[in-house]
Structure 1
Amino acid sequence: MNGTGINPILCVVTSHPIRGDPGEPTGFAMMELTHPLGVFEAAGIPVKIASIRGGHPPFNFFDLSAPVNDRYWQDKRFHDERVLGDLDLSRYSAVFFAGGHGTMWDFADSPAVQKVIREIWEAGGIVSAVCYGPATLVNATLSDGSYL
């Protein structure tokens, strides 16, 4: 918990930069992270951002004309994503998987993503996703081997 007494929401974005055989750039959809971040923070809910590889993940649908996008783009914390597999998941009350085409390549088969889903769900937390983010749930299994 933080000073507000609320456990943060873990926001997860893809680390995958290339889309399919044509080799087109991809990543996560900026607006599918920034708009929910704005809602969470306006409600006083703290957030942390992570990706499979950490660092600065690839963006897709980059648009700074939207004020919420520009606000987060200017915030240094937005550019310091943590490595998903390194996190203490007991600190989070929910996980939110942002969309974008890159999720189709690295979410469904990632052991770190599967662990996040399993641990947060089994602790009574919320597992959520938007647009292509539900690709995360394709192989999501619980500790007993059943699918989420």
Structure 2
Amino acid sequence: MKKILIVLTNTIRYKNTNDATGLWLGEATEFVDEVVKAGFSVDYLSPKGGFVPLDPRSMKYTNDDDLKIYENTDFQKRALSKSLKPTDIVPSEYSAIYYTGGHGVMWDFPNSLELQKITENIYQQNGYVTSVCHGIAGLLNVKIDGHYLIENKKITGFTTAEEILAGKKKIVPFLNEQLAQEHGAIFQKKRAYKEFAIQDGQLITGQNPFSARAVAKLLIKNI
């Protein structure tokens, strides 16, 4: 059985504020729903391991499928309570890595050298590197042979327009769309908050929270 590594945030609140953030639940549960039904197994990783907070705003957008996975004891334990830490991971065991979003990832994904190394190893063994929404932050600084992984690649992620609409443009440490372009990516996008996912070789990325299933379906076609 092929395995997929799902990366989650440990960040509890927007930096320098009292506003809660964390994982956007549907970006994990909807992806998991698709890949597990397709016969894949998943492991859950976070930069520090252990507890993964949920963005409270994400709970307003859940549906029955999301809640069924959220209520599952396995998900509660392995994803939200006892997520793996980078030193637990053997990259050769995985066919793909998937970076979930939620604003929390903006602080703990981009500069994690351990996450970057795991991503590099999976990519170099012909695995797939995937993300949705803010999860693109986990791809932005990954380098392969001295070049940014996303350089000259068509990718997408949470756009600057969507960040403005979310009211977080002045709070986040950087803008994903802008930094992706600075690192040489060919950034693609569609209308704000509409499903959109794109593949360029081993990279599969989704624009916003409504794109998790689309990312999963593209990945399933390839592995």
TM-score, length basis structure 2 = 0.60
User: What is the correspondence of 1:1-148 to structure 2 with a 5 Å cutoff?
Assistant: 6-60=1-55, 61-63=58-60, 66-78=63-75, 79-80=77-78, 81-142=83-144, 144-148=145-149
1:20-61 alpha-carbon deviations (Å, 9 max, x no partner): 222311111000000010000111111111111222201111
Q: Which runs of 5+ in 1 are unaligned?
A: 1-5
* Whole-Å separation in 2 of the counterparts to 1:104 and 1:50: 16
* Whole-Å separation in 1 of the counterparts to 2:105 and 2:71: 24
Q: Tell me which protein shows more helix as a share of its residues.
A: 2
The SS at the match of 1:11 is strand
* Whole-Å separation in 2 of the counterparts to 1:56 and 1:63: 21
Structural RMSD (CA): 1.5
Matched to 1:76, the amino acid is: T
* Whole-Å separation in 1 of the counterparts to 2:146 and 2:18: 35
Greater displacement, 132-141 / 54-63: 54-63
* Whole-Å separation in 2 of the counterparts to 1:89 and 1:65: 31
Following superposition, the deviation at residue 102 of structure 1 comes to: 0.5
Runs of 4+ in structure 1 off by over 4 angstroms are: none
1:3 equivalent in structure 2 = none
Following superposition, the deviation at residue 63 of structure 1 comes to: 4.9
Following superposition, the deviation at residue 76 of structure 1 comes to: 2.0
Matched to 2:49, the amino acid is: G
* Whole-Å separation in 2 of the counterparts to 1:54 and 1:75: 20
* Whole-Å separation in 2 of the counterparts to 1:88 and 1:46: 15
1:114, 1:140 within 8 Å by CA — same for their partners in 2? yes
* Whole-Å separation in 2 of the counterparts to 1:85 and 1:24: 30
Q: Which runs of 5+ in 2 are unaligned?
A: 150-223
Following superposition, the deviation at residue 64 of structure 1 comes to: 8.5
Matched to 1:15, the amino acid is: N
Following superposition, the deviation at residue 85 of structure 1 comes to: 2.9
Following superposition, the deviation at residue 69 of structure 1 comes to: 2.0
Greater displacement, 30-39 / 65-74: 65-74
User: Greater relative contact order (Cα 8 A, min sep 6): structure 1 or 2?
Assistant: 1
Taking structure 1 as reference, are residues 71 and 84 closer, same or farther at Cα in structure 2, changes over 3 Å only?
farther
User: Whose radius of gyration is greater, 1 or 2?
Assistant: 2
* Whole-Å separation in 1 of the counterparts to 2:102 and 2:61: 17
* Whole-Å separation in 2 of the counterparts to 1:105 and 1:111: 13
The size of the alignment, in residue pairs, is 142
Following superposition, the deviation at residue 65 of structure 1 comes to: 5.2
The SS at the match of 2:43 is strand
